[in-house]
Chains A and B, each alone.
Chain A
Amino acid sequence: MRLKVPATVFALALLAGCGPAEAPKKAADPYDPSKMDLKPLPAKVSSERHTGPFAAGDALSMDATVKPLVPGAVKEIRLDTTHKVIELAPGVKFSAWTFGNQVPGPTVRVRQGERIKFTMTNRSDEHLPGVQVVAAPMMHSMDFHAAMVAPNDKYRSIAPGQTISFEFTANYPGVFMYHCGTPMVLEHIASGMYGMVIVEPRDGYPTKVDREYAIVQSEFYTKLDPQRRKVDGEPLYVLDGERVRAKQPTYTVFNGRYNGFVDHPLPAKPGERVRLFVLNVGPSNTSSFHVVGTIFDRVWLEGNPDNQLRGAQTVLLGSSNTAIVEFVLPEAGNYVMVDHHFANASQGAIGVIRAGDVPAGADSEHHNIPATAAPTDPVAVKGKLDFESKCLACHTIAGGDKVGPDLYGVSKRRSERWLARWLKSPEEMLKGDADAKALLGKYKLPMPNQGLNEKEIRQYVAYFKWADANLQPRATTQPAPAKPGTALPPNQTLSGGASLRDATRGLVIE
């Protein structure tokens, strides 16, 4: 006879064997503070001046390609501070302050639980070869967000010629910012003093990838040097203190360069899985980081796999927030990294991951950034560059109306005199000019006064006239040259290739 046992009785019998004494043990908290190193040693400050390389250590990656983790429980790194001129965009030489003599500073990669022995000499008073126009020497410091230490001890500011050393253990996995914490912190960060620390989980990441890149988004607030100094014949730009306080950047870029990864795409292959370590430095604006043409299979907020999203299109990063995003590149093509706040993208926060062989001449269209072909006239080239850095948030050239009107044909619709007056002083025009009033009536938003000088206005007008004479709108795609040979590819303006640089050398925007 078959014995029938009701399911409830069977379940109760099972539970009876699971009394309190034999309850499964709770998993250990991987973030148990009692297991962390919370007893750092005091920092040491000396007047010993280091004279070797500005950055040193196996754990450092000097560009976007992130080196694999190197073995060793202790990572010794050096990041000296310098003042140097960087080229932020074609023709824009900016007086920057750096860690490791580059902007952003090198990326540090360690494993959770490893110890970082850090040394920094303040070398802001050193004259780099050939450069005499850097900022005055000043105090600097280092603030590692990856560390748990007393900031008044480890993050103290040191004077030019001094060296500070301290150690800490990377207790938490994640992607962290480092930056100078010396007052005024805003100015120090806005001048270029930041970088990324990657702390890989103790047991590594749960996924395997084919490529790893570090993407650092940051804002720059530039103005022409009031002393009108030049570097290599080009005007020097310095930090604009008013813009930085008003949170009005002139450039928002990836890895310290306007459209840098448009000019030099990050390589990959079709079908590969890519991991990006993304840091939004700010210092003041958020990033809505997105990769056109794919979906983030995984997003690990703050770079920690315990904070996971699946199937995300965009990750929102406040100032100093980070994420790891992983995705597959399904087929050959140009996949565009972009801050989906398109006003930021139009200031340079855009880049390309090139998967496989993309046909020659297939210029990236900058995903809704209507870059036109480039003029050959250097005056119009400057106008195009200014237009792309300042106007694309509201206008297009033959890409249709946005917040403001499509400016294709504007040099035919308006006289040159009218355009010059409008660009110079739109608020004055709105008081009495009927066409200006009609524009406000249609678009509802007044054209802001950009504070342009006569030379900048001439450059804009030259670009508009060139576009109207040489471009052929093509409905939904970008305008193309009207005749072969009348224009250069769009990236000739953006990259400032050798021939263009030569053509524009000596031009000064005043």
Chain B
Amino acid sequence: MRSLLLAAALWLAAAGCGVCVEDKIAACYDHAVIERAHSRGQEVAFFALEGPFARDAVTAAKLRRQIESAPGVQAGSARVSVEIGALSFAYDPRRTNAMAAADAIEKRTGFSLGLLKVEGPGNR
């Protein structure tokens, strides 16, 4: 958890083309996922993806599967940008929260995640 918070702080301080927070969010932003999530009372979390990894379609597909196998994560909502190093997913806040979901994903994938933003129906 501590690593998550530290990573989040670092990412929030980062700046530059393709590396600032909004750019990372944009890389894994899917308007339809957000609309559907909010209509279900779900939240959408955006994370920076850290560490060395293969920036290819195989890695992206594997990550998507692993994200959606985490408890409380909405099936079909995972979005991954291996080019930019960012991911997002919708989850049910009654079953989990962004950090708990991230912990579960970190264990499954071995990657470190840095929280960028949580978007709920009330804080768009």
| Inter-subunit contact A160/B15 (CB<8 Å) | no
Range class of the A interface residue count: 20 to 34
Q: How distant is the Cα of A157 from the Cα of B21 in the complex, in angstroms?
A: 9
Given contacts A47-B124, A136-B30, contact A157 B17 (CB under 8 A): no
Inter-chain contacts of A159 with B (CB < 8 A): 29, 31, 34, 124
Among candidates A47, A136, A141, A150, residue contacting B22 with C-beta atoms closer than 8 Å: A141
Q: How distant is the Cα of A160 from the Cα of B33 in the complex, in angstroms?
A: 13
Given contacts A156-B22, A157-B22, A182-B26, contact A150 B31 (CB under 8 A): no
Chain A proximity of B36: nearest CB distance (Å): 12
Chain B proximity of A199: nearest CB distance (Å): 22
| Inter-subunit contact A151/B25 (CB<8 Å) | no
Chain A proximity of B119: nearest CB distance (Å): 8
Binary contact track A181-215/B, C-beta < 8 Å → 1, others 0: 11111000000000000000000000000000000
Binary contact track A149-188/B, C-beta < 8 Å → 1, others 0: 0111001111111000000000000000000011111000
Inter-chain contacts of A155 with B (CB < 8 A): 17
| Inter-subunit contact A136/B31 (CB<8 Å) | yes
Inter-chain contacts of A157 with B (CB < 8 A): 22-23, 25-26, 29
Interface status of A138 (Cβ within 8 A of chain B): yes
Interface status of A137 (Cβ within 8 A of chain B): yes
Range class of the B interface residue count: 20 to 34
Interface status of A365 (Cβ within 8 A of chain B): no
Inter-chain contacts of B22 with A (CB < 8 A): 139, 141, 156-158, 182
| Inter-subunit contact A183/B31 (CB<8 Å) | no
Chain B proximity of A49: nearest CB distance (Å): 12
Given contacts A137-B31, A159-B124, contact A184 B83 (CB under 8 A): yes
| Inter-subunit contact B18/A160 (CB<8 Å) | no
Inter-chain contacts of A137 with B (CB < 8 A): 31
Interface status of A125 (Cβ within 8 A of chain B): yes
Q: How distant is the Cα of A3 from the Cα of B71 in the complex, in angstroms?
A: 108
Interface status of B74 (Cβ within 8 A of chain A): no
Interface status of B8 (Cβ within 8 A of chain A): no
Q: How distant is the Cα of A155 from the Cα of B124 in the complex, in angstroms?
A: 19
| Inter-subunit contact A152/B15 (CB<8 Å) | yes
Q: How distant is the Cα of A208 from the Cα of B115 in the complex, in angstroms?
A: 56
| Inter-subunit contact B26/A151 (CB<8 Å) | no
Q: How distant is the Cα of A124 from the Cα of B32 in the complex, in angstroms?
A: 12
Interface status of B27 (Cβ within 8 A of chain A): yes
Inter-chain contacts of B20 with A (CB < 8 A): 151-152, 156
Inter-chain contacts of B25 with A (CB < 8 A): 139, 157
Q: How distant is the Cα of A462 from the Cα of B26 in the complex, in angstroms?
A: 46
Q: How distant is the Cα of A136 from the Cα of B17 in the complex, in angstroms?
A: 23
Classify the secondary structure of A's interface with B. loop
Chain B proximity of A137: nearest CB distance (Å): 4
Inter-chain contacts of B23 with A (CB < 8 A): 141, 156-157, 181-183
| Inter-subunit contact B26/A136 (CB<8 Å) | no
Q: How distant is the Cα of A251 from the Cα of B96 in the complex, in angstroms?
A: 49
Inter-chain contacts of B34 with A (CB < 8 A): 159
| Inter-subunit contact B26/A183 (CB<8 Å) | yes
| Inter-subunit contact B15/A136 (CB<8 Å) | no
Binary contact track B67-102/A, C-beta < 8 Å → 1, others 0: 000000000000001011000000000000000000
Chain B proximity of A132: nearest CB distance (Å): 15
Given contacts A157-B22, A157-B23, contact A183 B84 (CB under 8 A): yes
Chain A proximity of B71: nearest CB distance (Å): 27
Q: How distant is the Cα of A124 from the Cα of B26 in the complex, in angstroms?
A: 13
Inter-chain contacts of A138 with B (CB < 8 A): 26, 29-31
Q: How distant is the Cα of A27 from the Cα of B28 in the complex, in angstroms?
A: 52
Q: How distant is the Cα of A184 from the Cα of B25 in the complex, in angstroms?
A: 11
Among candidates A124, A156, A161, A185, residue contacting B18 with C-beta atoms closer than 8 Å: A185
Q: How distant is the Cα of A47 from the Cα of B124 in the complex, in angstroms?
A: 8
Inter-chain contacts of A47 with B (CB < 8 A): 124
Among candidates B16, B26, B27, B81, residue contacting A152 with C-beta atoms closer than 8 Å: B16
Given contacts A138-B26, A139-B26, A183-B81, contact A151 B15 (CB under 8 A): yes
Chain B proximity of A136: nearest CB distance (Å): 6
List A residues 99-145 near B (Cβ within 8 Å): 124-125, 136-141, 143
Chain B proximity of A497: nearest CB distance (Å): 39
Chain A proximity of B9: nearest CB distance (Å): 15
Q: How distant is the Cα of A157 from the Cα of B15 in the complex, in angstroms?
A: 13
Inter-chain contacts of B21 with A (CB < 8 A): 152, 156
Inter-chain contacts of A183 with B (CB < 8 A): 18, 23-24, 26-27, 81, 83-84
Chain A proximity of B29: nearest CB distance (Å): 5
CB-based nearest B residue for A162: B124
Q: How distant is the Cα of A158 from the Cα of B29 in the complex, in angstroms?
A: 10
Chain B proximity of A386: nearest CB distance (Å): 31
Inter-chain contacts of A158 with B (CB < 8 A): 22
Task: Please list 15 pairs of residues, one from A and one from B, whose beta carbons are closer than 8 Å in the complex, sorted by A's number.
Answer: A125-B31, A136-B31, A138-B31, A139-B22, A141-B26, A152-B20, A156-B21, A156-B22, A157-B26, A159-B31, A159-B34, A182-B26, A183-B24, A183-B81, A183-B84
Q: Beyond A139-B25, A152-B16, list 12 extra A-B contacts (CB 8 Å).
A: A137-B31, A138-B26, A138-B29, A140-B26, A156-B21, A156-B22, A156-B23, A157-B22, A157-B29, A161-B124, A181-B23, A182-B22
**Residues of A participating in the B interface, judged by any CB pair closer than 8 Å:** 47, 124-125, 136-141, 143, 150-152, 155-161, 181-185
- Listed from nearest, the 5 A-B pairs whose CB atoms lie closest are A152-B15, A139-B26, A137-B31, A157-B22, A157-B26
